[in-house]
Amino acid sequence: MRQNNVLQSSSKSRSNKEKALTVSDAVIIEPFVMKVFFNNHQYRIIDFRPFFNTLKGDYKKYNTPTAFKKFIIKNGELWWGKNADIQLHPIDIYYNSLLHPLHDEFAEDLITL
């Protein structure tokens, strides 16, 4: 008889894993106020003015209603600028912690909903 030397993975399939929180859509309600939708079927209405008022140097150019409207959603985050000059992590948006971010780049995989 042959012995089966194939190891089977003990991890759950991707469909059973909890999904990391991402931004799925966003709509501007008024200058610097946005309704942000997430992949967990929740939404938040966020006033981004306090965060954008803290921008300095080259980033200050995004603190205008015209520049604010030019956001895109990429990789589940809100981005401004051709080179993603400003990237807002979905966890920070969800908990409205933009001035004191909650996420940690090294622990992002641990934050799931």
CA dist., res. 22 & res. 38, Å (int): 6
pLDDT per position as a tens digit, 28-53: 999 999 999 999 999 999 999 999 99
CA dist., res. 24 & res. 90, Å (int): 10
Which pTM was predicted?
A: 0.75
pLDDT per position as a tens digit, 39-94: 999 999 999 999 999 999 999 999 999 999 999 999 999 999 988 999 999 999 99
CA dist., res. 58 & res. 55, Å (int): 8
